[in-house]
Structure 1
Amino acid sequence: MTLLPAKTLPCSLFVTSQCLFVFFVVLAFVSPFDSIAFSSSSPKKEVGEEGMEAAALLAWKASLDNQSQSLLSSWVVGSNHCKWIGIGCKKAGRVITHIDLESYGLRGTLSNLNFSSLPHLLSFDLTNNSVYGTIPSPIGSLWRLTHLSLSANHLSGSIPPGIGQLSNLKTLKLHQNQIGGSIPYEIGLLLSLIELTLNSNNLTGSIPTSIGNLVNLTTLRLYENHLSGLIPEEVGMPRSLTDLELDMNNLTGSIPASIGNLVNLTTLHLYQNHLSGSIPDEVGMLVSLTDLELSNNNLTGSIPTFIGNLVNLTRLYLFRNHLSGSIPEEVGMLRSLTYLILSTNNLTGSIPASIGNLVNLTTLHLYENHLSGLIPEEVGMLRSLTQLMLDTNNLTGSIPASIGNLVNLTRLYLFRNHLSGSIPEEVGMLRSLTYLILSTNNLTGSIPASIGNLVNLTTLHLYENHLSGLIPEEVGMLRSLTQLMLDTNNLTGSIPASIGNLVNLTRLYLFRNHLSGSIPEEVGMLRSLTYLILCTNNLTGSIPASIGNLVNLTTLQLYENHLSGLIPEEVGMLRSLTDLMLNTNNLTGSIPASIGSLEFLMSL
């Protein structure tokens, strides 16, 4: 049987199979390395970017002082920079998005920080450190930045125009530095800006009109600078504004009517400028206002009646202007008001009775005007009041008894008016009073004994009135008193011995009365006394030796009395004395040699 030869494959097919075999063998060895190389190609790029960011921060750290470097001890080459103190990274990678080093006590400049190496930065906060030098122009390369705060440092120079490149910025805080120059026009390019605080610097020039472009702005604080020129009309364009503070500058011109567009405004501070003209009617459209402060300007005209629209107002400060006319009745509609300060103007007319509606009022200052008429009884309804200052006006009539309702009152200033009648007994109910100043009026009658209830009183001024009768013994209960001034009245009787209890007294003025009897020995217990003025009375007896205890006394005036006896040697112990006046008395004997030791004495 003939064997058939084995079936053979064509040569070309055999070679192809071998080639495929070799290919797969090679692929088996090569592919793992290629896949490693491929998979590591993306992280290599990322590591390069990370390294760039870390290197930039390490270079900046090296430029800071030694103490600052020790505070950043976690910033070490080769460590995970996302775990460095004050550093935040994007979750999906390790790129730096946040630098927050607020209040770390760092000292140095920004000149060695390579901003271009931080392209992913969203927030940069160095608030409350000791960073000095200028703000570098390259900061404008941080185009992703939404929050920039360099406030409360020692930065100088000007705001770089390049800051306008930070188109995503929502918060820009540069306040409390020494930054000068003008506010760059380019700031108007920051269309996403919500909060802009440049206050408490040395900025000059005018407020740029480009500020009107910042339509998302809610807070604009430019106060405490040296800004000049007008408040631009464009300030009325950021209708989202809630807080506008331009106070403590050198701004001139009038308050723009466009301010009435800011219907969301809660705070308007324009005080301590050189603004003139009247308060525009448009202010009455700001019905969300809680705080309106226009004081210390040159504003004229009357307080507009539309003020009554501002029913959310808690503070109304119009003091130190040239406002005239009467206080409008509509003020009584401001029932949320806690501070009403209209002092130092040219206001006339009477205090409106509607003021009694302001039951939340804690401070009422109407002093230094030309107000006339009576103090309304309705003042007694202001039970939250702590300060009532109506002095230096032309008020007449008596002090209303309803004043006794104001049990939280700490200061009552009614001096320099034309008030008459007696001091009401109800004053003794004001047990929180620290200052009671009723001087320079036409008050009559006696000092009420109830005054002894005012145990917190530090200052009692009743001088330049027509008060009569005795100084009540109860005055000796006012142990916190530092000033007792009862001079220039018609007081009679003797100086009460209880005066010796007033050990904190620095000034005792009883001159120009009709006081009689002797100077009590107890006066020598007032060791804090610097002024003792008892002249122009009918005092008799000798000068007590205990006067030598008053070692802080600078002025001793006992002239124009009927004092007799010797000048006590103890006067020589008053080493602080500059003014000693004992003339026009019945003193006898020689001038004691001890007076020669009074080296500061200027008049004798």
Structure 2
Amino acid sequence: MTSMLPSLVELHLRRCQLDLLFSLPGLNFTSLAVLDLSANNMKPLMPNWLFGLTGLDSLGLRSCDFSGPIPNGLQNMTSLQDLDLSGNNFNSTIPIWLYNFKGLKSLDLGWNDLQGPISGDIGNMTSIIHIDLSYNKIEGRIPRSMGGLCSTKFIDFSYNKFGDISDVFRSLTGYISDSLEMLSLNACQLSGSFDDNLGQFKNLQELHLSVNSIVGPLPWSIGRLSSLKSLYLTDNQLNGTIPEILGNLTKLEELYIDYNLLEGIVSETHFANLKNLKILGASDNSLIFKVSPKWIPPFQLDQILLRSCHLGPRFPNWLQSQKKLSNLDFSSTRISGNIPTWFWNLSSGIHYLNLSHNQIHGEISYIPKCDDHSYPRPMVYLSSNQFSGPLPTISPCLSELDLSNNSFSGDMAHFLCGRSNETSQLRILILRENLLSGEIPDCWMNWQSIEVINLRNNNLKGSIPSSISFLSSLISLQVRSNSLSGEFPPSLQNCTKLLIIDLGVNEFVGSIPAWIGKSLFDLKVLNLRSNRFIGEISSELCHLTSLQILDLADNKLTGTIPWCVNNFTFMATVKNSNNWYWNSYSYYDGEIIETEFVVTKANEYLYSTILQFLTSLDLSSNNLSGEIPDELSSLLSLISVNLSRNHLIGMIPKKIGNMKSLNSIDLSRNQLSGKVPSSMPNLNFVGYLDISYNNLSGEIPTSTQLQSFDASSFVGNKLCGRPLTQKCSADGEPVNNGGNEIDKREPKVDWFYLCMALGFVMGFWGVCVPLLLFKSWRYAYFQFLDLMWDKLCVVCGCR
């Protein structure tokens, strides 16, 4: 049987569901040159039979779930030219023996947990062309000996912890400062990769250093990387100005310097020779772009990402020359005035357009038609400007539209109902914070791709239209702060993918339907605050196991709090870094982020980026009665709970101290009785507490936490002990069996101020009012004043 097995040169077994016990007994490996076992579950250790394959030229072990240190058994494979160990869990330093693989041309150790510095011995790998150490925890400096790696074309050290930028480029550009670098320079001169006097690292084409801890200004030596096509320096701590010598990189196609601390002026000189540039990413710096209004760039860009740079006040005229744009981000760039007419013709090919957070004004009649077959679908963000007039007409192929925080006015009928035969591809519609009025049109049947509708803070009235039922993909519906009315929309019963419903601060009436708990099983946010809902809270809502935020405050709800609240599984599950999740959606560049108003600590806050971590239960300002169910204390992940201003009786749940995630708790203005639970001091993270104006009695449990709150958190009860001034007796009751001093204190009458007030009232009504009402009194009064003035002048001699 063995004699029938052929001698192999290449063996590819990628994604074959192999495990650690896999082997090929009897197979002739003597001629094997290429072995690829990537994407198999061979954890945690490499099989020993691998180490005997010392004649391999290429070994691929990507994503095999190996862990621990890189095994020393590989050190005898000195013939390797290609080694891929990426996507595993190796957590050691890079072994010294690996640097002796002088024939290695490609090394990929990315996406591991490697630590420590890179050894200076890396200069021994003189044949290396491709080196990838990205997504590790490698730190320190890049060794200067890398200046001797003259054949290298690709370096990816992104997502590590490298430091000084000047040291990085000193290593890569042959800067001469010691004998080791002189040796590196001589080696490259012999190979012909460096110019005699400049030490240029001619072959390097891609350099990835994004997301490190690199500090300092960009050095002038960057201009020596004459073959460079891609430079990624995103998300570091680079500062200072951009050197003009950057414009010497004539082959540069991709430049990413966004998310740094760069500043100063950028002029035409910086781009003078960048004729091949296709991507310019400089967002989130303090750069000021100053170019001539007649400047015509030498490049044709595909992406321009300049968010938070200073481009204004005029709309950049040089943009007219860019005919190949697909992504444009000019958000927060201080542009004002109208959008020029030529721009809308240019924008028809743009897939991602962001002009938000500027001072652009005027009306928009249409957002140009795009190619129905284009992909990705176009996304347009024009929020937080000063646009006015009616909503624009949009192309049906548009995917995302954000016109929020402007002054668009009028109704939505022409916007939603203007097309009868065309089906829109729109997924995201954000129109919040405008001046829209009228009713929400009943034309949603042509918008069946829509996932997010946000109409918050407008002047809309009427009910939610029945055609909403066609939106089977709807994830989020926010119509908060309008004047909408009617009952809870029955049309939402068909929108089974809903995660967020916010109907707060409107005029909805009727009961909260029980079908919510059955039809909208995945719901995470239910906000019905400040409406006119009546009736009881149905126990069917307890089927909403994924619920994070339940806000039914400020309505007219009656009945008891359902005992089944412990079925809110998400609120009950203790979270850690591994099981936090937001089962929602992500949009391009994070521009669309779900936001939600939540009342906590007696104030209303707008949450966005941390919304996925927030859990809140607010049933305040209703007519609820009965006891607080003990099951409430099982909601271990609840951050905020507010049951205030109801008619609740009974005791505070004894195990409330188990709710250690609580940051805000308000049980005030009810009829709760009994003692403050002894477990309450266990709430170590509580920043707001209010149990005032109940019928609680006894001593406030002693703890650093409870005694740190103001006395107002406990007044209106029969409590004693700090922070109240009412002392406790030996048996823990208030002295003399009285309430706390703030409650018992009788109001004192200040007779002086009372008499003064009465005198003022009598004088006003007895003198001033008759003078205003009776003409004869006024004549007599002023004649009396004249007579008295004459007599005074005679006595004093003033005449």
Structure 1 position 367, deviation (Å)? 0.9
Alpha-carbon offset, residue 438 of structure 1: 0.4
Identity percentage of aligned residues: 29
Contact 1:466-1:490 at 8 Å conserved across structures: yes
1:280–1:138: structure 2 CA closer, same or farther, 3 Å change rule? same
Q: In the alignment, what sits opposite 1:554? A: 709
* 1:230 pairs with 2:338: yes
Contact 2:217/2:241 (8 A) holds in 1: yes
Is the CA contact (8 Å cut-off) linking 2:496 and 2:521 kept in structure 1?
Answer: yes
1:379 CA displacement: 1.7
> Letter of the aligned partner of 1:243 in structure 2?
Y
Residue 124 of structure 1, CA deviation: 5.2
SS in 1 for 2:328: strand
Q: Which residue of 1 aligns with 2:559?
A: 445
Q: Is residue 241 of structure 1 aligned with residue 241 of structure 2?
A: no
Instruction: Indicate yes or no: 2:451 matched with 1:296.
Output: no
Per-residue displacement from partner, 1:123-169 (whole Å, max 9, x unpaired)?
35253365544445565566665544444444333332243664554
Q: Does 1:158 align with 2:274?
A: no
**Who is 1:202 aligned against?**
310
* Paired residue secondary structure (2:532): coil
**What runs of 5+ residues in structure 1 fail to find an aligned partner?**
1-53, 55-62, 596-604
Summarize deviations over 1:200-236 as a string: whole Å, max 9, x none.
3233322224423322222222123222222222221
* Structure 2 residue corresponding to 1:311, chosen from 412, 424, 431: 424
Shift of the 266–524 alpha-carbon distance from structure 1 to 2, 3 Å rule, reads closer
Asked whether the 8 Å contact 1:144–1:168 carries over to 2, the reply is yes
The 1-side partners of 2:706 and 2:191 are apart by 66
Give the equivalent residue in structure 2 for 1:337.
450
Q: Measure how far apart 1:248 and its partner are.
A: 2.4
Q: CA deviation at 1:190?
A: 4.7
**Residue identity in the other structure for 2:206:** D
Partners of 1:130 and 1:81 lie apart in 2 by: 33
Q: 2:642 corresponds to which letter in structure 1? A: M
Residue in structure 2 matching 1:475, options 612, 632, 648: 632
Partner amino acid, structure 2, of 1:345: N
**Displacement of 1:291:** 1.3
With the length of structure 1 as denominator, give the TM-score of the two structures.
0.72
Question: What residue number does 1:411 align with?
Answer: 525
Which residue of 1 is the match for residue 545 of structure 2? 431
**Superposed CA offset, 1:227-273 (max 9, x none):** 22222222212232222111222322233636446875611111122
Give 1:101 deviation, angstroms: 2.4
**CA distance in structure 2 between the partners assigned to 1:243 and 1:355 by the alignment:** 28
**385, 408, 413: which one pairs with 1:273?**
385
Q: For 1:130 and 1:497, locate their aligned partners in 2 and report how far apart those are by CA, in whole Å.
A: 51
Q: Give 1:588's aligned amino acid.
A: V
Q: How does 1:513-592 map to 2 (within 5 A)?
A: 513-515=670-672, 517-519=673-675, 521-522=677-678, 524=680, 526-528=682-684, 529=686, 531-537=688-694, 539=695, 542-544=697-699, 546=701, 550-551=705-706, 553-556=708-711, 557-561=713-717, 563=718, 568=720, 571-572=721-722, 577=723, 587-589=734-736
Distance 1:553 1:197, change over 3 A: same
- Alignment partner of 2:622: what SS? coil
Assess if the C-alpha contact under 8 Å between 2:267 and 2:290 holds in 1: no
Q: Equivalents in 2 of 1:590, 1:184: separation in Å?
A: 84
Counterparts in 2 of 1:150 and 1:81: CA distance versus 1, 3 Å: farther
Query: Closer, same or farther in 2 for the Cα pair 1:148/1:450, shift >3 Å?
Result: closer
- Kept in 2: contact 1:527–1:549 (CA 8 A): no
User: Residues 352 and 301 of structure 1: is their aligned pair in 2 closer, same or farther, counting only changes over 3 Å?
Assistant: same
Q: Which moved more, 1:179-188 or 1:454-463?
A: 179-188
Provide the secondary structure at the position in 2 that maps to 1:300.
strand
Amino acid at match of 2:553: S
Given candidates 481, 484, 489, the residue that maps to 1:376 is 489
Larger radius of gyration: 1
Paired letter, 1:305: L
1:321 aligns with 2:429: no
Worse-matched range after superposition: 407-416 or 186-195: 186-195
2:170 is matched with 69
Asked if structure 1 preserves the Cα contact closer than 8 Å seen for 2:281 and 2:306, the reply is yes
Aligned 8 A contact 2:166 2:219 in 1:
no
Q: CA deviation at 1:292?
A: 0.9
**What CA distance in whole angstroms lies between the structure 2 residues aligned with 1:548 and 1:412?**
36
- Tell me if the contact between 1:212 and 1:236 (Cα under 8 Å) persists in the aligned partners: no
The CA deviation string for residues 376-425 of structure 1, in whole angstroms up to 9 with x for no partner, is: 12223332222211111111111122211322222211111111121122
Q: Which letter does structure 2 place at the counterpart of 1:443? A: L
Alpha-carbon displacement from aligned partner over 1:264-294 (angstroms, at most 9, x marks no partner): 561111112222222212x2x2x22211111
1:172 aligns with 2:280: yes
Look up the equivalent residue of 1:329 and give its one-letter code: D
Distance 2:646 2:334 in 1: 50
Other structure's SS at 1:407 match: coil
TM-score, L = length of structure 2: 0.56
RMSD: 4.0
Q: Kindly provide the amino acid, as one letter, of the partner of residue 252 in structure 1.
A: H
Q: Could you tell me how far 1:591 is from its partner in structure 2?
A: 10
Cα offset for 1:317?
A: 1.3
Closer/same/farther in 2, CA of residues 110 and 450 from structure 1, 3 Å limit: closer
- Residue 397 of structure 1 pairs with residue 540 of structure 2: no
Deviates more, 1:421-430 or 1:185-194: 185-194
1:462 to 608, 612, 619: 619
Return the offset for 1:455. 4.1
Q: How many residues align?
A: 505
C-alpha separation between the residues in 1 aligned to 2:426 and 2:726?
55
Q: Which amino acid aligns with 2:709?
A: T
Contact residue 335 and residue 360 of structure 2 kept, 8 A: yes
Q: Tell whether the 8 Å contact from 1:191 to 1:213 is kept in structure 2 after alignment.
A: no
Aligned AA (1:125): L
Q: Is the 8 A contact 2:173 2:201 kept in 1?
A: no
| CA displacement 1:441-477 (0-9 Å, x = unmatched) | 1112222222232243342211111223333333333
